[in-house]
A and B are shown apart, each in its own frame.
Chain A
Amino acid sequence: MTRPAPIVTDDNRDFWEGAREGRLIAQRCSDCGRLRHPPRPMCPHCHSLGYEPAELAGTGSIYSYTILHHPQHPAFSYPVIAVLVDLDEGVRVLSNLVGVAPDAVRIGTRVRVTFETTADDMAVPVFEQA
């Protein structure tokens, strides 16, 4: 069973279309220029409805992590390593760390993005050690 497809909405379409093309995207406000994630329709700082997809470098460091043992879902192989990555541009994403042994995960480790396919020919950004 493959990884479940993300849920695409009017508000988050840029992020998931970017992922399918191998690009890590955050929303950039067209008026005040601030980056934001997760996506939303209005800039909470200036109330602009304008935004564009900003491609990020995909590099950052692990802010926190958890190694998931139980319960288990057939779409994933366990243990699952979940990470919060603080990206260099200043936004945070939740993702997985791949290619690293569970006992080697550390807060502060530098990581870079790669992509894994999901059901429905979609993709999610995941991270490997930089």
Chain B
Amino acid sequence: MSASLGGAAAIVGIGQTEFSKAAGRSETQLASEAIVAALSDAGLTTDDVDGFVSYTIDPVEETELVRSLGPPLVRWSSRVPYGGGGSQGVLLHAAAAVAGGAANVVVAYRAIKARSGGRFGRAQVSPRATSAHSGTTSSQWCAPFGVLTPASWMSLNATRYMHTYGATSADFGRAVVQLREYAATNPNAHFYGKPITLDDHQSSRWIAEPSIRLFDCCQETDGAVALVITSIDRASDTPAPVVIAEAATAGLFEEEIASNHYRPNLEVMDGSVALAEQLFGRDLSRSDIDLAMIYDAFSPILLMQLEALGFCGPGEAKDFIADGNLAPHGKLPCNTNGGLIGEGYIHGLNLTVEAVRQLRGTAVNQLDDPRTALVTASRTGVILQR
């Protein structure tokens, strides 16, 4: 067990743009707007910021961002690989930077035009062998066979999961119905005011049969979110800090993101198993979790992560969900903003923002006094506390 950064850092500010189908402005502008909003939320200014962290595939260059924001001195910056599966890794990087003294105030950001710009779900043949640092080098072994999108990569794993445990498309649909119910009352959500029934889900068209229908897919979105992270000492001077109680990542041998199909048992998300061992190996256990925000790029991986994280046994997520446990009064309220499927796809970092709101008591679908929130994306995750 590695040394913990637990409790050494806190999220002190959150900010975002609107989420839309066409932002009509650059990713650099979207990121700048979200960052200024997050700093304002924290009671800080760009003069306080000396570190930046984002995803390796985020299009916003640090140099351009600094030219717009104007911080006097950047002492530290970093990027996290693995696409959205690395989304919560930005918090580990930021916490390590402020705990170790490399930076005082770090801004984590993700800006994306996944709807009006380059859509992940578009059929395209990759022109290169490497992955442009998105964590998908195995896609060169997919493209010549028409396996061109994240949905097509993931559906190979999901079909095996269905085969092993007897899960069905309707089981995935029950998760989606819950997510859309949360989204229906979230004005930020793509599907605000648009709940669905299980029949609606079951009549949505196949993307990748028999595991992924249209309504199983996240909503590719334009927008940006930002979070401000600083040391626990400095956080005490800010209006609404949320402590990063645990932060961990778990990249495994022979495992990358969805385009990797070479592990022996694809029905188990091994990276999430290893992640949970780190997150729950010290002071906190699963029973402490009042809210889970779980990366739902496609609904099957929500079930697979519930199992891998240890909230239910292998193959039992379908029953756990059917029993209503993801709802506000269930055993594990989950993705209360509607998730990536219902709210939108800011590549996972909008899940973290929702967790902070819930812990502050300012979420639109506010739970009853949550104190501890888990946010995970495949192999990366955090536990947040107030």
Contacts and interface: CB of A to CB of B under 8 A. Distances in A.
A66 B209 contact: yes
A111 interface: no
A67 B143 CA distance: 15
B144 interface: yes
Contact of A75 (B146, B206, B214): B146
Interface stretch (A27-35, A50-58, A92-100): A92-100
A44 B261 CA distance: 17
B281 interface: no
A94 B145 contact: yes
B209 A107 contact: no
Q: Is the interface of A mostly helix, strand, loop or mixed?
A: loop
Contact of A68 (B126, B141, B146, B214): B146
A63 B148 CA distance: 19
A64 B157 contact: yes
Contact of B209 (A3, A5, A69): A69
B37 to A, nearest CB: 34
B299 interface: no
A92 B140 CA distance: 15
B121 A71 contact: yes
A82 B262 contact: no
Contacts of A96: 145-146
Chain A contact patch, size range: 35 or more
Interface in A1-49: 3-7, 9, 12, 37-38, 44
B142 interface: yes
A110 to B, nearest CB: 16
Nearest to A37: B262
User: Which of A67, A92, A93, A107 counts the most B-chain CB atoms under 10 A from its CB?
Assistant: A67
A64 B163 contact: yes
Given A44-B253, A70-B214, A107-B160, 17 more contacts: A4-B144, A37-B262, A38-B262, A63-B266, A66-B152, A66-B156, A66-B159, A67-B210, A68-B155, A68-B208, A69-B207, A70-B205, A71-B121, A73-B146, A80-B147, A82-B147, A94-B142
Interface of A: 3-7, 9, 12, 37-38, 44, 63-73, 75-76, 79-80, 82, 84, 92-96, 102, 107, 118, 124, 126
